[in-house]
Amino acid sequence: MNLLRIKKFLNTRWGFFSLLVFLFWLKTILVYFIDFHLGVKGIYQYFVLLVNPLATTLLLLGIALYIKRTIPSYIFMGLIYIANTALLMFNVIYYREFTDFMTINTIFGYSTVSQGLSGSSFALLKPQDIIIVADIIIVALGFITGFLHLDKRPIPRVQALALTSFSLFCLVLNITLGEISRPQLLSRTFDRNYLVKYLGIDTYMVYDGLKTARNSQVRNKAGSSDLNNIINFTRNHYAEPNSKMYGIAKGRNVIVIHLESFQQFLINYKLNDKEVTPFLNSLYNSKETYSFANFFNQVGQGKTSDAENMLETSTYGLSQGSLFSILGTDNTFEGAPAILGQSQGYTSAVFHGNSGSFWNRNNVYKNLGYNYFFDSSYYNTDANNLTEYGLKDKLLFHDSVKYLERLQQPFYTKFVTVSNHFPFALDDQNTSFDKANTSDASINNYFVTAHYLDQAVQEFFEYLKKSGLYDNSIIVLYGDHYGISDTRNLKLASLLGKSSFTWSDFDNTQMQRVPFMIHIPGTKDGGVQTQYGGEIDVLPTLLHLLGIDSRDYIQFGTDLFSSKHDQVVAFRNEDFITPKYTVIGNTIYQNSTGKILTHPSQKVKDEIKKDREKVNTELSLSDTLNNKNLLRFYIPTGFTPVDPKKYNYTNQYGQILKIQEDLGKKSTSLWSKNGNKTTIDDYSSDAPELTTTDQNEANVSSVKNTLKSNKKESIDTSSSSAESDSD
C-alpha cells in the first residue's frame, strides 16, 4: 500500500520534483564526505553542510514548475538536473587534481587548457563516481519501464511562487548561518573550501560569477593613478644586489629547464637504496651550482602557468583561475624575454612538446616578448613519441637541437618538460626504475617518471658540454609545483619516514618545496643555500646575475642573494612561511618542531601580524596590477612596450635560417661557430624512439625554397635585417 502511494506521488509533478531534489541532495552530500576535504568541525558546521544544497536545488528545479505544458516542463527540469550534475562531476574531477573548486574564470579558460589534455582527466575518475550519474540512469529507466509517468496537470502559479519564496528564504538563511560561523565569509575569504562548506557549490558559483563580473567592470575603469600604491610597495620592497654576485653571468646564454611536478623531497632521495635522480643530485650538491633548500612553489589554480608567470614577470598568479588563460591574451607584461632582449640583445625561445594553445601560451609568449615558440607542431608527435601531456622529455631535448643550434647568441631559452606529469604514466620501454609499493598508483609511478626526467636532463647536459654551449651558459632548473597532491600525501608519508597518523597541514606545507638550482659552469663558490624564497624571487635574482638592475621594474620578488632579501614566502591562499614559522589560516606552527604554537608570545603575535599584513598587501597589489592590466600605464626607463604583432610562430625554422644567412660571418649561432655544421652528432641518447623521430635537416629543402622566394620578392634586405627578425 505504501509503495503504491509513493508511486502515485512520484507520478505527479510535485512528486517528480521532490524526487529530483532528494536525489541531488543525497549525491551532493555523499560527494561532500567522499571526495571533498572541507574541514567540517562540530554539530553546527555539519548541520549547515547538510542543508546547504537544498536552497539552490529547490530554486533551480522550481523554475520548471512555472511551465504549464507537460513535456517542456519535464524536459526543462531534466536539463537543469543534468547540468547541475555535470557541474558537480567536473568539480569532483577538478578537486582531485587541484584540491580546489572550479571558478567562472576556470570554466571560461577551459578551452585553452583542454586542447593540451589527453587522458589525464579520465585517470582522475574513480569507481565511486557512479553515484553521481546512477540516479539519472535510474530515473530514465523509470520512464522506460513505465514506473514513472508524465503528469499533465500544471502546477498552480501561486504554488510555484510559494516555492520560489521559500527557496529564497532558505538561501538567505543559509548565507546567514554561514556568516555567523565565518564572519565576512563573502567579503574576505580567499578559500573556496569555506564557501562550498557553508553555501554549497551552486551558491558559490553564483557568488563567483558576480565577483568575476565586478572585476571586469573595475578593469575597464582602471587608470594610471591605480599604480601609485603598487610602485610605492615595490620600491620599498626592492632588495639591492649582492655586489659579489651582481653580473657574474653577464653575457652568458641562459637555459631554463622546467622540471614538471618535481618536488624537493626527490633530491638525494633513495627508494629501495637506489637514487631516484642521481644526476640532479650531483648538480644540486655541486660547487658550480647555487642550490636552494628552502625554495617553495607559490602557484594557485594556474599551476604550471602560474609558475611560468612568476618566473617570467615576478608577479603572482590570480587568486582564481590561470592568469595565462584568462588575462594573458590582452595583458601587458614586462617579462624576462623582453627585458633581456632589449637590454642585452638576447634571442629568446621556448621549446615545449605540447599544443601551443595549452595554457594559452601561443598568445602569452608573444606578449612576454618571446621571439620563438617551438610547440608540438615542430616535432614528430607520432603516438609512440608522446606521453599524457606531449612529447617525451628525452625526445624534446634531442629534437630541439636543430632549432637551438641556429639561434643567435646570447639566447634565453626555456625547455618545458612534461613526462613527470600526473598521472605519471610511462611505457615499459622507457622504464628503468622500480615503482614504489603503496596503494596509490600515481605515487608508485611518480618515482619512475622522475628518474626518466633525470636521465633526460643528464643527456642534455652532456650535449651542452660536447657542443661547446656549456661553458658560456648558465642553466636554471626549477620544479614548478607539487607532483603529489595534499590528498595523496598520507599514502606517501611512510616512504618519507613519517606516520600518516601524525601527518598534518604543517607537513603538507613543507611538501610545497621544489628544487631551484642555478648552475654556473666555472664557479667554485656555489653550494646549498638555506635562505627562504619562492618562484616570485627568480626574475630579480636572474637579472642581477646578468648585470641588470631590477629597480625600475615592478616586481614583487627580491634577489635571493641580497642581504635585504625578504624571506617571508607568500602562498596564493594567503598562508605563508618564514624561516621560523609556518602560518596556515590562524594556526602558527614552529618550524623547528612542527608543532602548533598554542600560546604564542606577544612578540610572536606582532611578528606574525606584520608578516600577514605584508603577504595580504603583496597578493592584493599583484591582483590589482594584473586584473586591471596596469602595466599598460607604466614604462620603465629604456624599456619599449612589447608589441605582440611583431611575433609570428609559424615557419620559425625558416625565420632563424634566414637570419643566420643574412648575418653571414657575423652570425653568432652555434651552427655558425661550428663551421656551419650541425652539432646533432654530439647528442647521445638511449631513447628507443629516436629511430623514428625527425632528423635534423627535415624540411630544409622547403626552407631553402622559401629563402629563394623571399630574395626574389625584395632586393632590399634592410627590412628583413637580423634586428627586425629577432624582435
Cβ(52)–Cβ(200) below 8 Å: yes
DSSP 275-286: ES-HHHHHHHT-
DSSP 103-159: -HHHHHTHHHHHTT--SHHHHT--GGGHHHHHHHHHHHHHHHHTSS----SPPPHHH
Helix (H, G, I), strand (E, B) or coil at 552: coil
Known binder of ligand: residue 480? yes
C-alpha distance from residue 471 to each of 110, 233, 591 (Å): 42, 38, 39
Q: Do β-strands 516-519 and 289-296 pair in parallel, antiparallel, or remain unpaired?
A: antiparallel
Nearest of 690, 679, 282, 687 to residue 466 by alpha carbon:
679
Please list, in sequence order, all residues whose beta carbon lies within 8 angstroms of the beta carbon of residue 699, skipping any fewer than 6 positions away: 653
Nearest of 262, 176, 213, 200 to residue 54 by alpha carbon:
200
Nearest of 151, 21, 136, 7 to residue 74 by alpha carbon:
151
Please list, in sequence order, all residues whose beta carbon lies within 8 angstroms of the beta carbon of residue 420, skipping any fewer than 6 positions away: 259, 260, 261, 262, 393, 446, 449, 450, 452, 453, 483
C-alpha distance from residue 697 to each of 87, 202, 348, 406, 680 (Å): 48, 55, 22, 12, 10
Known binder of ligand: residue 37? no
Distance between CA atoms of residues 564 and 288, nearest Å? 24
Distance between CA atoms of residues 568 and 20, nearest Å? 50
Known binder of ligand: residue 481? yes
Cβ(335)–Cβ(368) below 8 Å: yes
Distance between CA atoms of residues 188 and 409, nearest Å? 49
HSE, side-chain direction, 13 A CA sphere, residue 56: 20
Sign of dihedral through CA atoms 476, 378, 418, 101? positive
The question of whether 304 is a catalytic residue gets the answer: yes
Distance between CA atoms of residues 727 and 725, nearest Å? 6
In the numeric block, the cell 605519471 is attached to 424
Torsion of Cα atoms, 416 then 476 then 527 then 537, to 10°: -100
Torsion of Cα atoms, 654 then 658 then 659 then 660, to 10°: 100
Please list, in sequence order, all residues whose beta carbon lies within 8 angstroms of the beta carbon of residue 405, skipping any fewer than 6 positions away: 467, 669, 670, 671, 674, 678, 679, 680
Q: At how many degrees (to 10) do helices 13-34 and 2-10 cross?
A: 100
DSSP 239-274: -PPPTTTTTTTTT-EEEEEEETT--GGGTT-EETTE
DSSP 597-641: -SS--HHHHHHHHHHHHHHHHHHHHHHHHHHTTGGGG---TT---
Q: Which three cell numbers stand for residue 224?
A: 594610471
Q: Which amino acid is at 143?
A: F
Distance between CA atoms of residues 241 and 142, nearest Å? 72
Q: Which three cell numbers stand for residue 240?
A: 639591492
Please list, in sequence order, all residues whose beta carbon lies within 8 angstroms of the beta carbon of residue 15, skipping any fewer than 6 positions away: 8, 9, 151
Q: Do β-strands 569-570 and 527-534 pair in parallel, antiparallel, or remain unpaired?
A: unpaired
| Residue from 112, 212, 304, 417 carrying the catalytic annotation | 304
Q: Which amino acid is at 2?
A: N
Binding-site residue numbers for substrate are 421
Binding-site residue numbers are 260, 304, 421, 480-481
Which residues are catalytic, by number? 304
Binding-site residue numbers for Mn(2+) are 260, 304, 480-481
